[in-house]
Amino acid sequence: MFFYSKPAAGGGLVYVPRGFNSGSPSNGDFNKADFTIDGAYHLLDLSAIVPVDAKLVHFVCYLTNTTFGAFRLQQWNVANRNEFTMNPQVAGKQAGFTCLSQLRDAINQDIYYKADGAEGNWSQITVSVSGWFV
């Protein structure tokens, strides 16, 4: 768990936790209907949630897949490709993940995502922004 704190003298990042209007991160900022499930990378726009000065975003994800498929979040630009892959290990059982991701670049408040397999294989994809570092 991360807590808001002031950076030490000389710099550092500060974690800003986010309250959930829905009462729980499992209700999600983004749900299955918000994602294109086709095995290709797509942009996920976070600009309505994440401020322009955010450097890293803290995600909480809940996934349920009827087969074996991966869901990926990644910051991707010409210079970097950092990917967090989430694989639910048991078919039909919800798996929870938490990760940090950089935003795509200093201008855009978005990241890429990719959901493997067919749409019918995913019974749940829930992604929430828990907070960010500035």
| Residue-wise pLDDT tens digits, 78-104 | 556 677 788 888 888 898 898 888 887
36-74 burial string, b = 16+ CB within 10 Å, else e? Answer: ebeeeeeebebeeebeeebebbbbbbbbbbeeebbbbbb
What mean pLDDT is reported for the chain? 82
Does the pTM of the predicted model rise above 0.85? no
pLDDT score at 81: 65
Q: Per residue in 110-126, pLDDT tens?
A: 899 999 888 788 999 99
CA distance 28 to 118: 21
Second CATH level (architecture) for the domain 27-133 = Sandwich (2.60)
Report DSSP state, residue 120.
G
For residue 68, CA distances in Å to 17, 41, 83 come to 32, 18, 18
**Whether the Cβ atoms of residue 7 and residue 13 lie closer than 8 Å to each other:** yes
